[in-house]
Amino acid sequence: MVSLLLRRGHASLFSLALVAASVAGCDSNDGGGSGEGSTSGTSDGSSTDPTAGSTSSGGTTADASSSSSTTDESTTGSTTLADGSSSSTSDEGSSSTGEICEPGTQNCVCDGEACEGDLECVDGTCFVPGGCQGKQTDTEPNQDEGAAQSVPGVTCGELAQVEGSSEPEDVDWFSTELTDLGEDCPASDGTIAIVTAAEDLEVCMYFSCNAGAASVNCGPSTDSTSPDGLTGCCGTNSVEPDFFCSGVNSDSEVRISVGGLEANACVEYAVAYRVL
């Protein structure tokens, strides 16, 4: 009996030793030690790698030298507004189409509620008191030579007519093309422009030859040079210049201006013209 009990006691001790050795071996294989390069588990399934210096969920670790999604390069980024739309910005600045005319000047938007000089702000636009209030008959703006309104050309003694409106400090410009018919137009009555209006107006004619230079004789009218440097003549209510081109013919662009109203009013006019 004693011998049997002793043997059973040795067997139990041997079994405990085997279990202890087995547990120690499992811990060594799983890397559970605290040695360098080991990874310890966390309760949420993430792992920590002391060599990488970062923690990642799901077992993937991020290297400390990896770059973020931002960049140092300048961009033309966009900003999302409260309503979900986006607006773009640029380091180079935004472009603009520019203003049509300077605020506060005649026939232009008011500068706030102010206008230059004696101009009045009416419905957001600066007008001459008692003038046309922007309701000109002719095409506006044709108030400078570069924006002259194109009108039909006339030759061989025929008269053409165009209508317009004038007010103080308003000069209207028109442009027509002359085709020199030469011998096909033997009975020409010459070049003329006549203005019909309730008030006196100044009318001018200027010439730009397609070939050669323009030679102009103004007679009783006044010699004049246009803002663009063209040679011509001016008169009150009418002008009748003689001109020719030094080139092979007198094909030309003829520019007509009407303005110089002294009365504080809006005056309707008609200008009849003929070239050669």
All residues at 6 or more sequence positions from 250 whose CB lies less than 8 Å from its CB, including other chains: 178, 180, 209, 243, 244, 276
CA distances from 154 to 11, 39, 242, 256, 276 (A): 134, 99, 16, 13, 8
Please indicate, yes or no, whether residues 238 and 126 belong to a single structural domain of this protein. Answer: no
Is residue 159 assigned to a domain? yes
Please indicate, yes or no, whether residues 123 and 191 belong to a single structural domain of this protein. Answer: no
Identify the domain containing residue 120 by its residue range. Answer: 101-130
Q: What share of the chain is helix, strand, coil (3-state, %, to 5)?
A: 15, 30, 55
Is residue 208 assigned to a domain? yes
Is residue 158 assigned to a domain? yes
From the list 194, 181, 174, 175, the residue with the least C-alpha distance to 155 is 181
Please indicate, yes or no, whether residues 118 and 217 belong to a single structural domain of this protein. Answer: no
Cβ distance 173 to 255 under 8 Å? yes
pLDDT of amino acid 154: 76
Please indicate, yes or no, whether residues 178 and 250 belong to a single structural domain of this protein. Answer: yes
Higher-scoring residue by pLDDT: 82, 128: 128
Please indicate, yes or no, whether residues 265 and 146 belong to a single structural domain of this protein. Answer: yes
Please indicate, yes or no, whether residues 112 and 214 belong to a single structural domain of this protein. Answer: no
Higher-scoring residue by pLDDT: 160, 186: 160
pLDDT of amino acid 118: 87
Please indicate, yes or no, whether residues 216 and 242 belong to a single structural domain of this protein. Answer: yes
CATH code assigned at 242 = 2.60.120
Which tens digits make up the pLDDT trace of 120-142?
Answer: 999 999 998 888 988 888 887 88
All residues at 6 or more sequence positions from 230 whose CB lies less than 8 Å from its CB, including other chains: 206, 207, 208, 214, 255
Mean pLDDT, the chain, integer? 72
Q: Is the pLDDT of residue 15 over 70?
A: no
SS3 242: strand
Is residue 14 assigned to a domain? no
CA distances from 2 to 6, 8, 11, 66, 224 (A): 6, 10, 15, 71, 147
Please indicate, yes or no, whether residues 192 and 116 belong to a single structural domain of this protein. Answer: no
Please indicate, yes or no, whether residues 111 and 175 belong to a single structural domain of this protein. Answer: no
Please indicate, yes or no, whether residues 126 and 246 belong to a single structural domain of this protein. Answer: no
Please indicate, yes or no, whether residues 268 and 141 belong to a single structural domain of this protein. Answer: yes
pLDDT of amino acid 179: 86
Q: Is the pLDDT of residue 115 over 60?
A: yes
Please indicate, yes or no, whether residues 139 and 270 belong to a single structural domain of this protein. Answer: yes
> What is the arithmetic mean of pLDDT over 21-25?
40
Is residue 176 assigned to a domain? yes
Q: With pLDDT > 90 as the criterion, what percentage of the chain qualifies?
A: 42
Is residue 96 assigned to a domain? no
Name the domain count of the chain.
2
Which tens digits make up the pLDDT trace of 201-256?
Answer: 999 999 999 999 999 999 999 999 999 999 999 999 999 999 989 988 889 999 99
Q: Residue-wise over 190-209: b if at least 16 C-beta within 10 A, else e?
A: ebbbbbebeeebbbbbbbbb
Which tens digits make up the pLDDT trace of 33-81?
Answer: 444 444 444 434 444 443 444 333 343 333 433 333 433 443 333 333 3
Is residue 214 assigned to a domain? yes
Is residue 234 assigned to a domain? yes
